[in-house]
Each structure stands twice: as C-alpha cells, then as structure tokens.
Structure 1
Amino acid sequence: MNTNVLNKLKILAESAKYDVSCASSGVSRSYKKGGIGDTSGWGICHSFTEDGRCISLLKIMLTNNCIYDCAYCINRRSNDLPRATFSVNELVNLTIEFYRRNYIEGLFLSSGVVRNPDYTMERLVKVIKDLRSIHRFNGYIHMKSIPGASQELVKEAGLYADRLSVNIEIPNEKSLRQLAPEKDFKSILEPMQYIQQGVLQSVEERKKYRYAHRFAPAGQSTQMIIGATTDTDKDILQLSSAFYQKPTMKRVYYSGYIPVNEYDKRLPMLKHPPLIRENRLYQADWLLRFYSFRVDEIVNDTFPDLDLDIDPKLSWALRHPEYFPIDINRADYEMLLRVPGIGIKSAKLIIVSRRHGNLGTYQLKKIGIIMKKAQYFITCRELPPKTIHEMSPNFIKNLFISKPKNNPRNLQLNIPFDSAE
C-alpha cells in the first residue's frame, strides 16, 4: 500500500466512524466459482454471530469533502480538518486487498457530497459495480444512498449493494432545517421511496423469472441522531414506527450526539454522548419490532421520554400493575411477552412446556426466565405471593436501579495502519 493511499485511509476511516447504521445484514450471498468472498449468512460489521465470532468490514468514506454545512457533522464544510478523496480505482483495490489479507469480510461505503448528489452517487455506484462485475466480489456491501440522488442511480446501486440506507439524522423537519439548512425531508424520503420501489419490483419479478436480479436483498436502514435537538423519545419512536410500516425498512439506528462542533451555538452543550438514552431507545425499538408494543404504550403525552433508570418493558409493567400478576400456566403468548424477564424464546418454550404439566420456579429457571425480574409479575405452581401488589411499583423500581458505570465502549475497529503494508 503506497503512502498516499495509506494517508487517505487514515483520514477517511476516521471520518466514517460516526455513522452507526451498519450492523448485521441478514443476507446470504453464497460463494460463486471464480469469485472471491461470501456472506454465508453471517452478520457483517462488528456483529456477533451465534458462535460468538465478530465479523468486520471496511467502513470507509469515498471522500470527507462536503458541500453541506450541517451543524452536527464532523465533516461539515466549515470545519478545518484534513480532507481526502479516494479515486474509484483506489477504493476498489483497497477493498480487494483488505479482503485478501483477511482484514474484512465486507464493505460499508458512505461519502460526503461533492459538486452535487448525483455526481457523488455516480462515483459510489461505480465503486460497488466494479467490485461486483470486474473483481467478482461476493462479500457483503452496504452503501449509503445520497439524499437528493436521482431514481436511476438509486436503482442502479440496488443491483450491486446488499443493503442501501439513507440517514434521516434529525427526527423532524423543523429541527433539520435549523441544523442543516441545505437539507429537507423531501431529499431524504425520496431515495427511501426509490429503494422500496426497487425491492418490491424485484420481488415481483423473481416470482415470474427465477434468475431475475435481486435488488438490495437486505432492504434498507436509516439513522437518527439523539440529543442534538429537543425532540422527545415519543417524537423519535413515532417516526421509527412509521418507518417500520414500510415493508423494506429493516432497522432504524440511534446515534447519541457526539459534541464534535462545540463552537456551534445551535447545538446543546453536552460533556458526553447520551449513551444511556441511546440504549433505552434501542430497547424500545426492540419492543416495537418483536414484542407487539405500540408507541403510545411505551411513551405518550404523560410520559414523553423513556425512563433512563430501567428498561422500557419494566417501566411499562410498573405503570400498569392492573395487568399483573399473570398465571404463567394460563396466560397467552402475547401477555407472556409483556412480562419483564421473559423474552421471545422463553415465551415460546413456556407455551410448549406447559402442555406436559404445570410449570414451577425450577422449570422456569431452566427455560431461561430472569426470575429476578419476572417474580413480581407472575404466579405459578409454587411461587410465593410477592407480586407487584404486595410490593409497590416504586419499591420494585428501586431494586433494579443500578449505579452508572463509566466504561464507554468503542466498537469501531481500528486498523493497525503501521502494520498494513
């Protein structure tokens, strides 16, 4: 690797680390004879597989030059920082070389906007097209679609990328216009619509033609910055819920605002990113997607923000003692999912296991229920009657409030550049 490319890599890998919307793909792209790489159904980009293996990818920007001056972005036009731009061939060759050296198993590609959205998008598409068609790269590719890019370029990108995403960044348009005056919701939502149309059209074509090309088979995702504006968790989760109504939206990511531009008075004065709030939003997002909760059950006008001390499901249960305790041997599946300490897998095991006899505490522990939480919300064969009604919600809440730990984790892979020869 020559010195020029290495210097660009250092700059553009650092610039790319603030985008968190690049987790497991959920796509399987099998090995093809004569090609290199495969996804084999594994998660990509610092995700952990079922056997505990960490999967990595090259998370890089084509350029950190940008025509926009978004207040929250480290790469904003007015910032005085080192700038770099890869040529298409440099980035393609870099990806292939990193794969051959077993540094990565896929690519997450984003970019600042130079000249105009279509010019930038065209170069991004050229990178992934060359990887697929010239180098026959079969590994995972996640590409960020540029807001404002044309439908033709978005559709071409979907032919080569496993996943496309467009970051909405700010939960409402008023706040977006305040922090990023050159952007609007239309330029962000239109590419999302193009991706959705492409995926649905591909599904229909594959019903008629077996070998029709798959369009962005892993769907799309987006990201919102948390804490840069005064938007409540209710505002954020309502927007997320609306996105999840779209058939192709797979994930909404939440990124705690990192105060990289402290000089900008439009931004809040934060010492640290709101990581606890970010974590609670991910937990609430999980409830929306897999536990059949509605947004107004998690947050509402009375409780517009999530409780930072306890997880959202426990918070809901403590606010609704009238639903508890439930009989573990009689409750339906949907109600079992609402019990703190019972997950999807354990709820299914309960349904199956109780067909063979009433369940007690021993069986519930073997199933995997977290009895430390669940014991206050359930009854079973011999469980003592210390339920939420014998112990007040506030008392139970205090049992689960943990002291904050100052151990922030940075999951961004730092490539040892000095040894990358």
Structure 2
Amino acid sequence: MQERVHEKLSILADAAKYDVSCASSGSDRKNTNKGLGNAHPGMGICHSYTPDGRCVSLLKILLTNHCIYDCAYCVSRKSNDIKRAAFTVQEVVDLTINFYRRNYIEGLFLSSGIFKDPDFTMERMVRIAKDLRTIHRFNGYIHLKAIPGASDELMREAGMYADRLSVNLELPTEEGLKLLAPEKKRADMIQPMNYLKNEIIRLEDERKVLKKVPIFVPAGQSTQVIVGAGRETDKDIVHMASRFYQQFRLKRVYYSGYVPISNDARLPGLGQQVPMMRENRLYQADWLMRFYGFNAQELLDDANPHLDTEIDPKLSWALRNLHFFPIDINTADKMLIARIPGIGMNSVNKIIAARSFSALGWDQLQQMGVQLNRAKYFITCKKGAMVKKDYTSEQIRRQILNQSHSKYLKLHSPQLSLF
C-alpha cells in the first residue's frame, strides 16, 4: 500500500468510528455471475451483526473528513483543527478489492463529510459503488450514507448499487438541530428518506406483477441519532424513533452516545460522555417497539421522560402496570406473554408450542429459558403463583435488584477463582 494512501486510511478510518450505523442486515445479494464477493447470509467473520447473529467485517471509512458545515457535535466540522484527507474514487475501490482479496473484509461501509455541495459528494460515493459492482463484479455488502440535499436521481442510482442506504438525522429534535447545526435543515434529511421509502414501495408493487424488477436497496434504509449532545429526553428520542419507523419503513434506528470532542458552549454536557447504559436502554426500548408490540407512549410519557438505568424498559413498564398481572402462562395471548419480564420471544414461541400438549409448570418454564427470578412476580402456571400477589412495585424492584447484585458478587467472588 502506498504511504500516502496508508496515511489517508489511518485518518479517515479513525474519523468514521463515530458513525455506529453500519450493521450489515437484511441483504441477500448472491454471487451468480462468477464475480467477486458474496453478501448472501451464511458468510462473515467479525465486526457487524446480522439479525440471525452472523458476524461480518466491513471496511468502514469516510470518503473525506473535509466538510463545509460547522456542526458543534462533529469531529469533522470545518472549524475543528484536525488533519484532513480525502480519498479518490479509485483509491476506495482499490482498497475494498484488495482488502477483500486478503479476506480482511466482506463489504464496505462508506460515509463522508460534505465537500463543495451534497451532489458533488454523493456523486463520488455512487461512482465507487458503481465501479465495484459493474467493473469488478463485487457482490459483497455495500452500505452508503445518503447525503442530505443530494438529488433524487443520485439517490436512485445509489439504491441500484448499494445494499443499504442511510440518512443520518443526527439530532433527535429539530430544535436541537437548529441550535447545534444551524446550517442544516431537517427537511433536507426527510426528503431522501421519503424518496427511498416511496421507491422501495413502488418496486415492491411492480415485483408482484412483473418477472424482472431492478434490485433497489435490498437491506432497506436506516438512520442514526446522536444521544446527549442536545437537551432532548429519552422520551423525545423514543417517540421520534417510533414515528420514523412508521413513516419511512426504517430497518433500524441507531443511537450514538455523544463523545466530547468540542469546547462549543452550546453543548449542554460539555466534557461529559454519555453513559453507555443510556445507549443500552434506548436499544432495549427500540427492540420492544420493533418486536414485542410496545408503543412509545407505553414506554415513556410526560410522567416518565427518562429510561430507568437500573432496570430494563420491559420490567419498568411491568412495575408501572401491575394491574395487568399475574398472567396465566397456559392461557394468555402470545403478545401478552411477550410483555412479561424475563421472557424473550424465543421462550414465548416455545411456550405457545409446548402448552398445546400439556399445561406448563415452573420446571418446564425454566427449561425453556424463562428467567424465573424476574418472571415469577408476574405469572401463574400449572402450580399457581410462585410468590405472593400483594408485593408493591417497589418491593419487586428491590428484590430483583438485590438478586442481581448478589449474583454479580457470587460470580466475581475471589473464593471462586481457579487461581
């Protein structure tokens, strides 16, 4: 590798680490023409995870960290005194092919700062994807960051070559964007998301009646929001995510805790990194909305604007709604069982399948992976309730937290060490 390209790679790979939305999920691009690479499920080694748990490696870089914008929260903002670099189209193509041939990667995640204007930047990103697909017949995974403000024509062409496109919302609220990135407009972010949604729907409809329809972003679109740079609450973030899932058919919303990189006085959490647990709780709440039938209002409202950092969102909801419990595991509806703390969807499916043969007891539930240390407060089964019914929410909370603390101490006790 040339020394100058190596230097660029060091700069632009490091700058790309702040973008977390690089999961390689949902693509099924098969290698059918004896080309290079394969994004079909079944291959992968590290770094990003697919819905089935498969691990894949991606070359994750920026095209450039030059930027015409001066967003307070961004390391690449134009006023920041950092070392700048920019790849050429051919350099990114060559890096991707060479890294793939050496079995370092399975695909490419490409984002960029904005140099000159959105169309100028997006056009180069599209050329990279196009050259990989058409010249090198690369069938690996490609995730491109769609540049807000770029034309619909470029968005459409990008969708023909990329497996996934994503448009960063950056901040959860429009007020936060106006404060910390006044040069940017939320409308410029919404427009490409809306275009991608409509084009995906249009081609899905065509696929029902036509034999051959062009592939268009088979892994869908996603977005990312920065958590903690503005003054938004968890309620603001979760409700925003819920709206965008519904309005734009997003595959994922990614949550990136703000990392202090600026002395800008507009940033309320100056010098403080967002706790990892806040990110974790947001992902848990997101999971409940996507797979467990919860809506945003149930998880967070004006009375409860922040997620509890001590307990997960499902347990928090259950403790606020004890009137729903106890639930009879042998008769309750599937999605009602899914709301019980300590029971995941895999266990829910096992319960539904098994109870058609015989009534389930505590032993069977434990064998199915149910976390009885949590679930026992909220369910009855063949042998009735495991605990008394008159516990208050606070008593249940304390007991669960104490059990978790005791388990942690036991696992980390020096007496248990093999050395």
Q: TM-score range by the shorter chain?
A: over 0.9
CA contact (8 A) 2:24 2:141 kept: no
Indicate the larger mover: 204-213 or 139-148.
204-213
Q: Quick one: distance in 1 between partners of 2:345 and 2:52?
A: 20
What amino acid is the match of 1:10?
A: S
Which ranges in structure 1 are unaligned for 5 or more consecutive residues?
406-421
CA contact (8 A) 1:158 1:198 kept: no
Aligned with 1:356: secondary structure? Answer: coil
What amino acid is the match of 1:264?
A: D
Instruction: Tell me, yes or no, if structure 1 residue 17 matches structure 2 residue 8.
Output: no
| Corresponding residue number in structure 2 for 1:40 | 40
1:326 Cα deviation from its structure 2 partner: 1.0
Aligned with 2:161: secondary structure? Answer: coil
1:35 to 1:152, Cα distance in 2 relative to 1, 3 A: same
The 5 Å alignment of 1:20-419 reads 20-42=20-42, 46-48=47-49, 54-246=55-247, 248-261=249-262, 263-267=263-267, 268-387=269-388, 389-401=389-401
1:329 to 1:52, Cα distance in 2 relative to 1, 3 A: closer
TM-score, scaled relative to structure 1: 0.92
CA contact (8 A) 1:310 1:400 kept: no
Indicate the larger mover: 347-356 or 213-222.
347-356
| Corresponding residue number in structure 2 for 1:409 | none
1:248 Cα deviation from its structure 2 partner: 3.2
1:301 Cα deviation from its structure 2 partner: 1.1
1:350 Cα deviation from its structure 2 partner: 1.0
CA contact (8 A) 1:121 1:146 kept: yes
1:178 Cα deviation from its structure 2 partner: 0.6
1:192-242 per-residue CA deviation (whole Å, 9 max, x = no partner) reads 111112212221232333222111111100011111111111111111111
Aligned with 1:364: secondary structure? Answer: helix
1:158 to 1:148, Cα distance in 2 relative to 1, 3 A: same
Q: Quick one: distance in 2 between partners of 1:308 and 1:179?
A: 27
1:251 Cα deviation from its structure 2 partner: 0.5
Indicate the larger mover: 25-34 or 394-403.
394-403
CA contact (8 A) 1:28 1:42 kept: no
1:49 Cα deviation from its structure 2 partner: 6.0
1:232-262 per-residue CA deviation (whole Å, 9 max, x = no partner) reads 111111111111113531101111111111x
1:6-64 per-residue CA deviation (whole Å, 9 max, x = no partner) reads 00000000000000011132111112233010012258772346896531100011000
1:50 to 1:63, Cα distance in 2 relative to 1, 3 A: closer
| Corresponding residue number in structure 1 for 2:411 | none
1:270 to 1:115, Cα distance in 2 relative to 1, 3 A: same
What amino acid is the match of 1:305?
A: H
Q: Quick one: distance in 2 between partners of 1:179 and 1:51?
A: 37
Aligned with 1:273: secondary structure? Answer: coil
CA contact (8 A) 2:22 2:48 kept: no
1:320 to 1:235, Cα distance in 2 relative to 1, 3 A: same
1:42 to 1:49, Cα distance in 2 relative to 1, 3 A: farther
Aligned with 2:251: secondary structure? Answer: strand
CA contact (8 A) 2:66 2:84 kept: yes
- Name the Cα RMSD after superposition: 1.8
1:233 to 1:375, Cα distance in 2 relative to 1, 3 A: same
What amino acid is the match of 1:12?
A: L
| Corresponding residue number in structure 2 for 1:416 | none
1:384 Cα deviation from its structure 2 partner: 4.9
Residue-pair matches, total: 402
Q: Quick one: distance in 2 between partners of 1:399 and 1:258?
A: 35
What amino acid is the match of 1:227?
A: G
